[in-house]
Amino acid sequence: MKYERNPKAKIKEIGDDWAVYVPSTRAIHVLNPTARLVWDLTDEPVTAEEMAGAISSVTDAEEETVLADLREMLPEFVRDGILSEST
């Protein structure tokens, strides 16, 4: 399974934070630093494993821990309309 940004979702810097606006739900989601990395990594379709490797290479987190967190977070991002799934 690959994930990519919802092309209709828009990101905006607000002070020290980043927020994504999803027009279909009219919702705004404030991103933490890890979520912002996920956003940055999904400009092209990417797997959770690829994201975990990239995130662990720029943080102190173990790749397995990052992958477990992503497996919880990614379905929420899809449900919220921030990302979409592709094969």
Length of the chain: 87
Strand boundaries in the chain, DSSP class E: 2-5, 10-14, 17-22, 27-31, 46-47, 83-86
Q: Give which of 55, 78, 62 is closest to 3, Cα–Cα.
A: 78
What is the residue range of 26's domain? 2-86
Say which amino acid occupies 17: D
| Number of domains the chain contains | 1
Q: Give which of 72, 7, 1, 8 is closest to 34, Cα–Cα.
A: 72
- 80 backbone dihedrals φ, ψ, rounded to 5°: -80, -5
pLDDT at 87 over 90: no
pLDDT (tens digit, 9 = 90+) per residue, 10-61?
999 999 899 999 999 999 999 999 899 999 999 999 999 999 999 999 998 9
Return d(Cα 24, Cα 2) in angstroms, integer: 21
The domain that holds 11 is classified in CATH as 3.90.930
Its pTM stands at 0.91
Return d(Cα 65, Cα 48) in angstroms, integer: 12
- What average pLDDT score do residues 61-73 get? 96
